[in-house]
Every structure is written in C-alpha cells, then in structure tokens.
C-alpha cells in the first residue's frame, strides 16, 4: 500500500476551500492512512478541528471522503500486489477453487500476491478489477486467502510486474460496491501483512 503525500496535500487544499474549520477525521488510525501522518499534514495546512477515537459514534463527515479521496478529491492510497506467475489456459478451464470462473477462450491469467487475508474483499471475486501496466483487467475466479487471479489476455505482462487497485483507474468505490462496504472501511481494514510506504 502506497500513500501519496502530494495527494493528501491536494485534498487538504480542497478542504481549505470549505474553510480551516472543516473537520479532519483521524479515527481508526485515519482509516488506515496513519493518524499521525495525516494530523501533521493537516495542522501544517492550518486545520485545527479533529475527530479522534474518543468520538466513535459521530457520523463520518463528508470532509473525510474528500480528505482520503474515496469519493472526491485525489486518491491517497493505492494497493498493489506482485504478479508472481503467468499461465495460459484453454477454453473451458476453470480458475481458482470452486470453479466460479471458466475461460471462454484461450486466456492468459496472472497470479497476484493479494488475498482476503490481506483485506482484499472476497466479494470482489469475478466482479472487481485491477490495473496492470496502465490497463484495467478483471479479477477472475474466487479470491483466495493469499492470492487472486487477473485475466491478462491480450496484454504484454511479465512476472514481477505489479497489479494495482484503488488507483486512478480502478477506484476503491468499485470494490466497496462489490463488497457492500464503506470505502473507508476497506483501507482501514487492510491486514498488518500489507507493507505500507509513503511517497512525496
């Protein structure tokens, strides 16, 4: 998971248009973004009003969705997993357990190192997408504990490439709709197994 400081700053600038009195929601470790990191950036931008875990019953303010870029603003967090294997399968072959997806043509599929134990919603199986080399590709088959599979047919991809999601092409809202969950809960619900980093 990569968190962008420039995206966070851009979203804080948007909220300044509302006014520095806009509430900065830091609950649930800033919904998985890192409360200290977000608070430092918000205070530097001039914000003084914060919601903390001392107020769990307060409804999520609209400013939070802009701040973290889940429904407005610029996305702050991008989730990625490495493609560790590629395989060409024939028409009629199933993918993943349960045979919930069967290839309709000869297909190239890639194994991605993200699964439901990392916090990727299983409900995204056969319905959500990822981005590989700038192309949107579907998640096919059932999402497993440690991995998922994407259909790479027609795309030039090598082992070691990365599949991204919750980025500028595949929003977290697509996954939250499939999972019937709030977008903020997806980021805050990511496992400790997911490596976090920050970029400028």
Output the pLDDT for position 174. Answer: 86
Domain assignment present for 194: no
- Please provide residue 99's backbone torsions phi and psi, each rounded to the nearest 5 degrees: 50, 40
Count of domains forming the chain: 2
Residues 63 and 92 in one domain: no
Mean per-residue pLDDT pooled into runs of 10, the chain (200 residues): 95 88 92 96 94 90 92 90 97 94 97 95 92 96 96 96 90 86 90 91
> In b/e form, how buried is each residue of 21-37, taking b as 16+ CB within 10 angstroms?
ebbbbbbbebbbbbbee
Domain assignment present for 186: no
Output the pLDDT for position 116. Answer: 95
Output the pLDDT for position 73. Answer: 86
Residue 178 tokens, joined: 């499939």
The verdict on pTM exceeding 0.85 is yes
Residues 57 and 96 in one domain: no
Q: Which helix (H) or strand (E) holds 138?
A: strand 135-140
Domain assignment present for 73: no
Structural domain that includes position 17: 2-67
Domain assignment present for 72: no
Residues 108 and 163 in one domain: yes
Max Cα distance, the chain (Å): 59
- Please provide residue 78's backbone torsions phi and psi, each rounded to the nearest 5 degrees: -125, 130
Output the pLDDT for position 200. Answer: 86
Residues 106 and 133 in one domain: yes
Residues 63 and 85 in one domain: no
Place of tokens 């903020």: 184
C-alpha span between 40 and 75 (Å, rounded): 19
> Which residue, 122, 121, 118, 120, is CA-closest to 192?
118
């Amino acid at each position: 998971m990569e968190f962008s400081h420039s995206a966070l700053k851009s979203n804080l600038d948007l909220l300044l248009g509302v006014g520095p009195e806009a509430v900065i929601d830091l609950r649930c470790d800033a919904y998985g973004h890192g409360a200290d990191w977000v608070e430092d950036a918000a205070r530097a931008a001039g914000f003084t009003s914060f919601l903390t875990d001392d107020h769990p019953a307060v409804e999520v303010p609209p400013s939070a969705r802009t701040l973290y870029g889940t429904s407005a603003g610029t996305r702050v967090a991008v989730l990625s997993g490495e493609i560790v294997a590629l395989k060409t399968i024939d028409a009629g072959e199933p993918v993943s357990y349960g045979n919930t997806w069967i290839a309709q043509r000869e297909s190239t599929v890639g194994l991605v190192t993200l699964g439901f134990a990392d916090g990727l919603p299983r409900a995204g199986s056969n319905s959500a997408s990822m981005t590989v080399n700038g192309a949107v590709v579907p998640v096919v088959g059932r999402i497993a504990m440690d991995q998922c599979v994407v259909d790479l047919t027609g795309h030039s991809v090598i082992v070691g490439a990365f599949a991204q999601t919750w980025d500028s092409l595949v929003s977290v809202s697509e996954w939250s709709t499939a999972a019937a969950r709030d977008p903020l809960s997806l980021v805050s619900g990511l496992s400790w197994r997911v490596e976090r980093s920050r970029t400028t």
